[in-house]
């Protein structure tokens, strides 16, 4: 009888301890990381040598930070995921299969094998996607604006998670079927457009304010979303182009109440690796 009572008490103790630990586990410890890849002509090796390789290294840095995070958690507390999105869908063989494999979900039932193969999956499949897009050479652009309009809330925000969106882009935004202008605001910017608006001097901010320039925002409250933009690559012909591009993105994110964001110009992966790591770990402060 005593032994049975002790066993019952032990079970109750373990259950209570686990419940307490689970309750104490902050939701920010559940990561939901999404990638949005810009597969426009920015990745063309002839136009921008080395850019797509940098993208692959940035992806690897995020993936490593994600794996380090889940490895630091107890199996019973795992509730983390990572996935990749495109808009529009690139004309790549097996793109659905490749995308599905890049959607990883770690939970208490996850096999240890998944921890071992995630690096290979992300390295191999990401490279296949970029290389296939380059080989296809049909760069239709990247409709980041419409992704935010139609998909970002549904695809990238998960309750009880710390939601992070990683956007790999040169900072310009253009898609032939989403070219809209409304009272100064637009769904796109290109280097030519910025020159046309005379955003080429130190007074670019006052010009933007006077003309009401900026991206068309949506009445969304993205307070549960953190965003890091990697790979901004401004034209060297305009010394203020980087500032203007970042101003467009900053105003856009603030208008949609994005919780936290970081805008980074293209750089060696080794230089951005600690920045990415800090952002994923949550130590970055805006």
Q: Is residue 49 in some structural domain?
A: yes
Contact predicate 51/42, CB 8 Å: yes
- Evaluate whether residue 84 is within a structural domain: yes
Within a domain: 6:
no
Read off the pLDDT of each residue in 13-37 and give the average, rounded to a whole number: 63
Assigned domain for 25 exists? no
Per-residue pLDDT tens digits for 218-246: 999 999 999 999 999 999 999 999 999 99
Nearest to 194 by CA among 215, 176, 178, 177: 215
Neighbours of 281 (CB within 10 A): 11
Q: Which helix (H) or strand (E) holds 186?
A: strand 185-186
Tell me which of 145 and 139 has the higher pLDDT.
145
Quick check: 73 pLDDT over 60? yes
Residue whose C-alpha is closest to residue 211's, from 248, 265, 240:
248
**Residue for token digits 């990683």?**
166
For the segment 96-103, the average pLDDT, to the nearest whole number, is 92
Please state the rounded mean pLDDT for residues 87-96: 87
Q: Is the pLDDT of residue 24 over 90?
A: no
Question: Number of structural domains, the chain?
Answer: 1
- How far apart CA 246 and CA 265 sit, in angstroms, is 9
Looking up residue 87, the CATH number of its domain turns out to be 3.40.50
Examine residue 200 and state whether it is found in any structural domain, yes or no.
no
Provide the pLDDT for residue 254. Answer: 98
Whether the predicted pLDDT of 89 surpasses 50: yes
User: What confidence tens digit (pLDDT) does each residue in 180-223 have?
Assistant: 999 999 999 999 999 999 999 999 999 999 999 999 999 999 99
- Domain of residue 159: give its range: 31-171+221-281
Kindly list the distances between the CA atom of residue 27 and the CA atoms of 71, 153, 262, in Å, as whole numbers in the listed order: 17, 18, 22
Q: Is residue 255 part of a domain?
A: yes
Does residue 276 belong to any structural domain of this protein? Answer: yes
Determine the pLDDT at residue 113. Answer: 79
Per-residue pLDDT tens over the stretch 166-184: 999 999 999 999 999 999 9
């Amino acid at each position: 009888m005593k032994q049975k009572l002790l066993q019952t008490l032990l079970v109750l103790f373990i259950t209570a301890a686990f419940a307490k630990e689970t309750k104490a586990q902050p939701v920010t410890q559940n990561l939901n990381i999404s990638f949005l890849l810009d597969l426009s002509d920015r990745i063309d090796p002839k136009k921008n040598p080395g850019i797509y390789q940098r993208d692959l290294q940035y992806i690897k840095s995020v993936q490593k930070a994600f794996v380090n995070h889940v490895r630091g958690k107890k199996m019973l507390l795992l509730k983390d995921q990572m996935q990749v999105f495109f808009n529009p869908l690139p004309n790549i063989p097996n793109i659905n299969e490749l995308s599905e494999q890049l959607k990883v979900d770690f939970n208490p039932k996850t096999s240890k094998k998944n921890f071992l193969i995630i690096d290979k999956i992300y390295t191999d499949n990401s490279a296949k996607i970029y290389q296939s897009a380059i080989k296809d050479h049909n760069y239709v652009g990247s409709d980041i604006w419409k992704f935010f309009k139609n998909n970002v809330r549904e695809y990238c925000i998960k309750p009880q998670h710390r939601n992070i969106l990683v956007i790999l882009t040169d900072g310009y935004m253009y898609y032939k079927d989403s070219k809209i202008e409304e009272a100064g605001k637009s769904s796109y910017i290109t280097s030519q457009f910025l020159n046309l608006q005379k955003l080429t001097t130190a007074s670019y901010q006052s010009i933007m304010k006077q003309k009401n320039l900026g991206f068309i925002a949506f009445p969304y409250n993205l307070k549960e979303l953190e965003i890091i933009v990697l790979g901004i690559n401004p034209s060297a012909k305009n010394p203020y182009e980087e500032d203007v591009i970042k101003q467009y993105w900053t105003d856009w994110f603030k208008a949609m109440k994005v919780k936290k964001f970081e805008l980074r110009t293209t750089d060696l992966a080794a230089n951005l690796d600690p920045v990415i790591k800090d952002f994923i770990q949550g130590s970055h402060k805006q």
